[in-house]
Structure 1
Amino acid sequence: MKQLKFECPECGTEFTITANQPKAKERIEALKKAGIDVSNLFAMQGADGSDFVASVQNGVISILEDNDAIFQNITHQGTIPNRHLFRRWVMAQMFRMIYITTPSSGYRKPMGFTEVIRSMGYEYQWKMLINELYAQYKMSSYSDSDNFRDRNRWFNKEVALDMANDYVKKLNKRFEGLKQRKCKGIPYKRICGKNIFVEDFDAKVLRPLYRAIFEMQNAFDPHSLWKAVKKFNGLRIKMPHDTIQSAVWIDAYKGSGAFFTMQNMIRFHNCFVVNDFGKQLSKNNALSFLNKKAEEYKKEGWRLIGVLKKMLDDNNIDVANKIREWRK
């Protein structure tokens, strides 16, 4: 942990600043990777909780604004690649999914995009959601508002509640369709390796789930939402692999995948965007256009798949060829 000591020029009092602000530290690391001397830079936190990069020159501390020459130099060079920060693996995953849906892929029977997602299995959606909400909780605790906004747009309390209620409906239907047996004259059913008396199903299975859903409804910060969803998941009886996933989750998955793929194409692959009026946009305007479309379609994520496919066509990108390049 980096520390900086300095004295007040008026009274001579010595101060120590500990640099431990994650977002500002990421910016300093980006500068370092770009070849900038960062030996005189450190991270500080303001009274409002925001963090920023500061420099010290001849004993004088100054805050670096976004329009500082150092940051402007980085902007002119382009976005600095950071696979962890910008989720570059999402683009590779989306390209593979698009490839499978393409008739020329070589598959005997090309799958639709929704079918590809469903092939991941029902339980995948819960594993993915919990990991996503945990990441959002960490982002919020580090005041990473930009990345939190981009990810919470797609996976949030509304999606979690829909998934939970959808699960309860599917569980009820599944239990009703099970063969009924008897133990000492008392009806029971066997589900997922467990024997449950029919008369106990409501009290011992459904009610705990409803209580967990109530906790989700009353979760008003990322941490409590993550905990509530994790609790609900721990109470669930696992469903068969081919159980249809929540329609709302599938749509959010499409929107998120398309959004981060286009974001990476603009940032790292020199791809351009043609707006609704046929005008080719600059890099910054393209990112603004993408954010606008994401907000417009945040409850219709499937529409962003269309925007992504148009962007691929406009940039003459052949997904199959791109995948072959990656394999080489």
Structure 2
Amino acid sequence: MKKGIDDMSEWITNGLPPVGVLVEILMYSGNIHKDMVIRDKYGNYTFRDYVDKYVSAWRYIKEESNKGKLNNTNKKENKTMMKNTKENRVATMQTAGLDTKKYFSVNFPEGLKPGSSISIIINDDGQAVITNKSEIDNYNEIAEKIQNGYVRNTKLHRRWVMAQMFRMLNYKDKWSNDPDRAGYNYYLNTMYNYEYQFKMLIDELNVLAHLEKEDKEVLEERTRFFNKEVVIALCSDYYRKLRKYVETLKIKHCKKEPYVRIGNKDIFMKDIINKLYDPILRNIKLMETFETYKDLCDSLKVFVNYFVDYYKLPWNTPKCAEWKDAYKGAGAYYTMMNMAKFHNCFVVDDENGRELKGMAAVRYIDSESKNNVGYGYRLFAMMNKMIEDNNFNWKNRLEEIYSEKK
């Protein structure tokens, strides 16, 4: 018996512990760790820090002998913390000689849209009150969404996308000085394999499935780029390129029966239509009938498991044109939004040549994205012009931001 395993009767081998409860877990290796069960982004319950299949049993953590003392201490601390009210804090500041008449505290509702305005008045009790009723009425709904794991914040606009965009734009192959082996397109075509399109799209569809229930406005924004049409186009692209790839393969024979090897899987030529091509087409037709992103996401997962991962195309297979256009469009849109909101950049109105900044720039970029659905390359060109017009350097801008924080 391994050290630390003193009483196996305490260990539970069936099921998982309650969500969020810290327990001890016993690994098949004999090691004991502390961990808890969480719900992952796909809705599955799993251990937070360790892989489920390596856990042989779990048990509740034993109470320590001095727990009573700790509880007494915590009660004292909690009692002290309960006294930490606004009135007591004000009294403490006044005792320290600070004039508190010119200060007041305000709790802002979460989820305020960019450009929103609120009015603040001082009521008869001397308290600051937000008078924007529509935002206050919205507060309970927002609180419910927070409990459901979804927090709306239209001000941030996926800032990590901007970082990824500039990483790709500024990429250079350190092993070559060839200008063709640098930049956004080279990075996209060579750093991500063909299967990446499906994995990325599944993650996006998971988000859209949540937004479909929680936030129709943000759903409309994100489906300007990745939507049902792109899913169908990508699966159809896989079908066409798979057939072309099979035509290039060397035909082998097993007991005089011709077959080909696709990736690491063998399939007889007599079965290739009934067992491969037709099932792919049936799955694509089925996807066209789905009306929710939850159903579409589940169907795409099945498609990837049964076909894309099973009958792999070569690593350097050209990516789907519709997917690439959506990828460029989404990246350009969120990059421009962040440049306008957080980096004081302007955008030029093509109709009159005016330089738009702040919320005027945000509204213009949003309008252009609505007018160019399915034409992501136009937003990509617009982003490149915005970068050039502002002489924007991402690396220098980051250095400025961090130097300001210091």
The aligned residue for residue 151 of structure 1 is: 222
Query: Which of 206, 221, 224 is the equivalent residue of 1:134?
Result: 206
Change (3 A) 1:282 1:234: same
Q: Greater Rg, structure 1 or structure 2?
A: 2
Is 1:209–1:235's contact at 8 Å kept on the other side of the alignment? no
Does 2:289 correspond to 1:227? Answer: no
Work out the percentage of aligned pairs sharing the same amino acid.
Answer: 37
Tell me how far 1:323 sits from its aligned partner. 6.2
The aligned residue for residue 282 of structure 2 is: 211
Change (3 A) 1:106 1:311: farther
**TM-score of the superposed pair, with normalisation by structure 2:** 0.58
Query: Which of 256, 276, 296 is the equivalent residue of 2:371?
Result: 296
The aligned residue for residue 197 of structure 2 is: 125
Query: Which of 214, 228, 236 is the equivalent residue of 1:165?
Result: 236
Q: For the residues of structure 2 that align with 1:289 and 1:180, how far apart are their CA atoms?
A: 56
Does 2:354 correspond to 1:279? Answer: yes
Does 2:390 correspond to 1:315? Answer: yes
Q: For the residues of structure 2 that align with 1:243 and 1:193, how far apart are their CA atoms?
A: 16
Tell me how far 1:265 sits from its aligned partner. 1.3
- The one-letter code sitting in structure 1 at the alignment partner of 2:107 is D
After the TM superposition, which residues 64-213 of structure 1 pair with which residues of structure 2 at under 5 Å, given as runs?
A: 64-66=133-135, 86-100=157-171, 108-110=177-179, 111-119=182-190, 120-142=192-214, 144-213=215-284
Does 2:332 correspond to 1:258? Answer: yes
Change (3 A) 1:303 1:86: same
Q: For the residues of structure 1 that align with 2:213 and 2:262, how far apart are their CA atoms?
A: 40
The count of corresponding residues between Structure 1 and Structure 2 is 262
Tell me how far 1:109 sits from its aligned partner. 2.2
Q: For the residues of structure 1 that align with 2:273 and 2:216, how far apart are their CA atoms?
A: 41
SS in 2 for 1:154: coil
Tell me how far 1:36 sits from its aligned partner. 3.6
Q: For the residues of structure 2 that align with 1:106 and 1:199, how far apart are their CA atoms?
A: 46
Of 292-301 and 209-218, deviating more is 292-301
SS in 2 for 1:195: strand
Tell me how far 1:114 sits from its aligned partner. 2.5
Is 2:162–2:335's contact at 8 Å kept on the other side of the alignment? yes
The aligned residue for residue 268 of structure 1 is: 342
The aligned residue for residue 315 of structure 2 is: 241
Change (3 A) 1:137 1:265: same
Tell me how far 1:288 sits from its aligned partner. 1.4
Is 1:100–1:107's contact at 8 Å kept on the other side of the alignment? no
- Unaligned runs of at least 5 residues, structure 1: 1-34, 44-56, 71-80
Tell me how far 1:89 sits from its aligned partner. 0.4
Q: For the residues of structure 2 that align with 1:326 and 1:254, how far apart are their CA atoms?
A: 26
Tell me how far 1:289 sits from its aligned partner. 0.7
Deviations 1:115-146 (A, max 9, x none): 3211111111111111111111111121x122
Aligned-residue CA RMSD (Å):
3.3
Q: For the residues of structure 2 that align with 1:64 and 1:232, how far apart are their CA atoms?
A: 48
Q: For the residues of structure 2 that align with 1:257 and 1:135, how far apart are their CA atoms?
A: 16
